[in-house]
Amino acid sequence: MTERLTDIGPPHYEKFLPPVVKENYGKWKYHEILKPGVMVHVSESGAKLFTVRMASPRLLATDTIRWIADLAEKYCGGYLRWTSRNNVEFLLTDESNIDPLIGEIKKNGFIIGGMGNSISNIVHTQGWVHCHSSATDASGIVKAVMDDLSQHFENMDLPGKLRIALACCLNMCGAVHCSDIAILGTHQRPPRIEHDTLDKFCEIPNVVSACPTAAIRPATVDGKPSVEVLEENCMYCGNCYTVCPSMPLNNAETDGISIWVGGKVSDARSIPKFSKLAIPFIPNNPPRWPEVVEAVHNIVDVWAKNAKKYERMGDWIERIGWPEFFRLTGIEFTKYHIDDFKHAGLSFKRTAQMRHLPEE
């Protein structure tokens, strides 16, 4: 029997680099987007590398990966990569392979695009497919929203890049907190306490200290050590559930989604910023979450119509002001929009500089 290998780390990336990349590594000179989903990088040596970007649902069956591998073999000398937003990139050196490749991709029901000033794939998480924490599904909403927005994936018809992300609970796996539009699974109720099992599965002092609002206190229930939750102090963050399986938050009646806007990650032009609350709550409505689709569609539309060239969602809103954002989108402004967490005061308007909205 062979020795059990451990701690070997990932394979060296050089093994997987196409020859054109190895030869021109660090020597790329410029790039051009040739058409939606297709770009070329030109090296100082004059060598060219063509990239065709294909949308992916991220959740892939092995058969689909094999199909992708086949395409890479046929058109790309067997080389390909995935992007940081889970799209597939075919890496070609022969320009004449581009259109046949795209033909095969489309024939199999996949699409290409996501480059330049477009909407790329929605970064997302597990949802009901795998996670125990989720307040909503991930893949289903992503599919419904992208079906609706796919023209903006396949075309470069937007003022700037628009990055949408989805996380199925407040743990916010992915970078949803810094997205142009973030779709966030949101609980609205304190945890249910399963007093029967709590003492067995959880360490009570850990549970108590896990709560950021000090809403959890030790308590004896039916003679058993357990905890109680001061419901009015609970903000449904789920941190207790992470450390204690006997305090689930999910609730078929009251779980749903909140929508956040105006975050970004890049340092281009403006500095990175967090997404801000647009819509505090939309109930779950599977299989296609039409209210969420509609809400995202509306925000994208209003932005696309009003923003200047290169203006990311958040930069646009900062220019026009939040009152105007709420007016243009027709979204209701509520007390939930006003921060009441740690740095709340810094989000109050501490200036008399003000635009008065047209009276309607």
Count interface residues toward ligand SF4 (CB under 6 A).
26
Residues 326-345 binding other proteins (CB under 8 A) are 326, 333-345
Stretch that binds other proteins, among 95-103, 137-145, 218-226, 296-304 (CB under 8 A): 137-145
Q: Write the binding mask 144 to 173 for other proteins: x where contact by CB under 8 A, - elsewhere.
A: x-xx--x--x----------------xxxx
Q: Which stretch binds a copy of itself (CB under 8 A): 36-44, 266-274, 276-284, 316-324?
A: 266-274
Nearer to ligand SRM, 40 or 219 (CB): 40
Based on the shown chain and the rule CB under 6 A, indicate whether residue 143 belongs to the binding site for ligand SRM: no
Would you say 12 or 343 has its CB closer to a copy of itself? 343
Q: Which of 6, 84, 96, 351 binds a copy of itself (CB under 8 A)?
A: 351
Tell whether residue 125 is a contact of ligand SRM (CB under 6 A).
yes
Neighbours of 241 (CB within 10 A): 24
Q: Measure the CA–CA gap between 205 and 228, rounded to whole angstroms.
A: 12
**Which residues from 229-248 bind ligand SF4, rule CB under 6 A?**
229, 234-240
Extract the tokens encoding 309: 């060239």
- Residue among 41 and 110 whose Cβ is closer to ligand SF4: 41
Residues 260-279 that bind other proteins (CB under 8 A): 260, 262-263, 265-272, 274-278
Query: DSSP of 133-172, one letter per residue?
Result: S-SS-SHHHHHHHHHHHHHHHHS--SSS-B-EEEESSTT-
Residues 140-169 that bind ligand SF4 (CB under 6 A): 167-169
Give 33-37 contacts, CB < 8 A, sequence gap 24+: 33/115, 33/116, 33/156, 36/112, 36/113, 36/115, 36/116, 36/118, 36/154, 36/155, 36/156, 37/102, 37/112, 37/113, 37/114, 37/115, 37/154
Instruction: Region of 135 please: left (phi>0), alpha (psi -120 to 50) or beta.
Output: alpha
Q: Could you tell me if 18 and 35 are in contact, meaning their C-beta atoms sit under 8 angstroms apart?
A: no
Q: Is residue 305 within the footprint of other proteins (CB under 8 A)?
A: no
Candidate list 18, 190, 263, 280; residue touching ligand SF4; CB under 6 A: 190
Q: Which residue has the tokens 């929508």?
A: 259
How far apart are alpha carbons 277 and 114 in whole angstroms?
A: 25
Residue 230 makes contact with other proteins by CB under 8 A: no
Residue type, position 184, single letter: L
168 burial via Cβ count (<10 Å: 0-12, 13-18, 19+): buried
Q: Which residues bind ligand SRM (CB under 6 A)?
A: 31, 83-85, 87, 114-116, 120-121, 123, 125-126, 130-131, 133, 160-161, 163, 171-174, 242, 264-266, 268, 312
Q: Which residues bind a copy of itself (CB under 8 A)?
A: 267, 271-272, 342-343, 346, 350-353
